[in-house]
């Protein structure tokens, strides 16, 4: 047996034979054309046919993957209808007197290369969209049929990469799993795989001779097992059956309220790290997003994201979640999260240093830009703002001043915005101890148990040597949580938990009895927690 490791895009176990997807990209020859106008007409006719195909794909994607994922093909239509891409093809035909197939290929490669060189990982993945459109246009110009790959039985589909068009055209009933050599978690193929609930791995270094091999895909561990022996196969078959039965039971909880036997409702929301994670929230029937970590927009970037860039991402998440709550935590860099666009001096103890709201208040211009983007996105959904690492009333006063300036500037710029609920992360002992005072200034509390635990116990939670001493459910931490909930309710505001402790089922019943209003956890923990909460006999 051979074991290959990759990166998981969607969990689950798949067992079956591998079929290698053959790349449908033929070599395009450069041909001199005597009649450039005729070639431009050929291009326009092919463009119209390609748009018709994309409309059909859009309808298919809406049915199989949902309206949000189907938007991919609306974007493809827009790129063919207008913009620099299609104009670049026309210009090449006019100036070089070349055939439309060659002009389209050259323009596609140019724009794809441009996207690949961008710093932003999401923008890098748009190179695949350009190549997908180009491949479609060239195929229509050449008079070839769509999709020459034929799948006759359920298989694990292995490919160099898959375009969004390839993915959505596949017969879902014939796909046990995706295994790609390339790709990223931000690619549209990855998004579609998640939306269609198909186990998927990316960045797996397989060779083409795997065609026809029996294999196991473990989407949880990110592994591909080639030619397993009978004992190993039987072991994974049992795991797969158990997982399927467990999921069937959990799926029956979708659409049901998260309510105790005593009738008390707990909001069950999700923590996410980027816009792409919304798929997992919806798939797991999350009642909203309790923690949207906005720092993903900054990590790995040399330049700060613009207000417009942030607005588009927040807006997209808000629209996709509809009426469901989305709480955006403002930038929380520092400690273990560093970004080149926010150069920070080396600190002796970064966990205690310039991080979270302290960093934002040190850089008011960048903070104001983020606040403006969130306020504008609030027009498209049910958004709230949450501030991290609060320790004093004074900090809230400074935040309020910057927020007022942000609103004033938006008014002057003629941009619409919405006044939003504001809350704070209670993750320092200081905030917990003065939570009675802070509760009078905000609309909600979200208790960040990860940092609250490490600060209360004076232990670095990432120090492996302290693992035997580190106690997440320490009585001191639980007492602080109880205090925060009580002070919130006295002031008439709600309190939730968004740290790892919120998903720890050993403490769920205790939190419910403390009076917690909301738990925000990773999407995969939502249904198991709902099952548990519905079984609680509340005292």
Any catalytic annotation for residue 188?
yes
Rounded to whole angstroms, how far apart are CA atoms 431 and 441?
Answer: 12
Rounded to whole angstroms, how far apart are CA atoms 439 and 488?
Answer: 6
Beta bridge partners of 226: 2, 215
Do 518 and 270 meet the contact criterion of CB atoms below 8 Å apart? Answer: no
Buried b vs exposed e over 122-145: b needs ≥16 C-beta within 10 Å? bebbbbbbbbbbbbbbbbbbeeee
312 burial via Cβ count (<10 Å: 0-12, 13-18, 19+): middle
Q: From residue 9, how far is each of 197, 219, 247, 281 by CA, in Å? A: 10, 7, 18, 14
Q: Maximum CA pair distance of the chain?
A: 86
> Which tokens in the block code for residue 215?
């294999």
Q: Return the DSSP state at 461.
A: T
Residues 6+ apart with CB under 8 A from 48: none
Of the residues 58, 188, 354, 360, only one is catalytic, namely 188
Any catalytic annotation for residue 32?
no
Task: Tell me whether strands 518-521 and 421-426 are parallel, antiparallel or unpaired.
Answer: unpaired
Of the residues 58, 76, 360, 498, only one is catalytic, namely 498
Rounded to whole angstroms, how far apart are CA atoms 199 and 154?
Answer: 13
Residues with a catalytic annotation lie at 188, 498
């Amino acid at each position: 047996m051979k074991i290959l490791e990759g990166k998981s895009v969607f969990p689950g176990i798949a067992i079956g034979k591998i079929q290698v997807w053959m790349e449908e990209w033929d070599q395009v020859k450069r041909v001199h054309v005597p009649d450039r106008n005729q070639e431009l007409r050929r291009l326009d006719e092919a463009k119209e046919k390609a748009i018709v195909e994309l409309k059909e794909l859009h309808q298919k994607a809406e049915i199989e993957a949902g309206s949000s994922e189907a938007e991919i093909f609306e974007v493809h239509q827009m790129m063919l209808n207008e913009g620099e891409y299609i104009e670049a093809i026309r210009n090449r035909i006019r100036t070089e007197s070349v055939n439309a197939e060659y002009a389209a290929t050259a323009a596609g490669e140019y724009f794809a290369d441009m996207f690949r060189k961008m710093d932003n990982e999401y923008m890098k993945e748009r190179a695949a969209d350009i190549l997908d459109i180009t491949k479609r246009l060239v195929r229509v110009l050449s008079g070839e049929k769509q999709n020459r790959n034929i799948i006759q039985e359920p298989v694990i589909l292995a490919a160099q990469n898959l375009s969004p068009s390839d993915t959505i055209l596949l017969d879902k009933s014939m796909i046990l799993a995706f295994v790609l050599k390339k790709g990223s978690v931000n690619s549209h193929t990855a998004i579609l795989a998640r939306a269609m609930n198909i186990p998927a791995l990316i960045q797996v270094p397989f060779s083409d001779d795997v065609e026809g091999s029996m294999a196991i895909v473990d989407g949880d561990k990110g592994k591909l097992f080639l030619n397993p022996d009978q004992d190993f196969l039987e072991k994974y078959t049992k795991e797969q059956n158990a997982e399927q039965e467990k999921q069937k039971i959990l799926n029956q909880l979708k659409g049901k309220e998260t309510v105790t036997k005593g009738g008390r409702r707990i909001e069950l929301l999700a923590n996410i790290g980027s816009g792409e994670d919304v798929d997992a929230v919806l798939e797991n029937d999350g009642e909203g997003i309790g923690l949207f970590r906005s720092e993903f927009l900054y990590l790995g970037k040399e330049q700060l994201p613009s207000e417009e860039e942030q607005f588009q991402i927040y807006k997209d998440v808000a629209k996709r979640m509809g009426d469901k709550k989305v709480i955006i935590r403002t930038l929380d860099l520092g400690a273990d999260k560093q970004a080149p666009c926010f150069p920070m001096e080396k600190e002796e103890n970064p966990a205690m240093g310039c991080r979270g709201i302290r960093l934002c208040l040190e850089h008011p211009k960048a903070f104001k830009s983020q606040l403006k983007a969130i306020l504008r996105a609030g027009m498209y959904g049910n958004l709230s703002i949450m501030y991290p690492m609060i320790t004093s009333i004074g900090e809230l006063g400074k935040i309020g001043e910057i927020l007022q300036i942000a609103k004033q500037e938006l008014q002057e710029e003629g941009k619409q915005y919405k006044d939003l609920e504001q809350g704070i992360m209670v993750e320092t002992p200081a905030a917990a101890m003065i939570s009675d005072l802070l509760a009078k200034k905000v609309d909600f509390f979200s208790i960040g148990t990860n940092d609250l635990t490490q600060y209360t116990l004076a232990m670095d939670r990432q120090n492996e040597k302290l693992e035997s001493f580190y106690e997440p459910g320490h009585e001191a931490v639980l007492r602080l949580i109880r205090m925060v909930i009580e002070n919130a309710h006295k002031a008439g505001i709600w309190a939730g938990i968004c740290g790892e402790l919120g998903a720890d089922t050993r403490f769920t019943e205790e939190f419910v009895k403390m009076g917690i209003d909301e738990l925000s956890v990773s999407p995969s923990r939502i249904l198991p927690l709902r099952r548990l909460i519905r079984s609680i006999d509340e005292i």
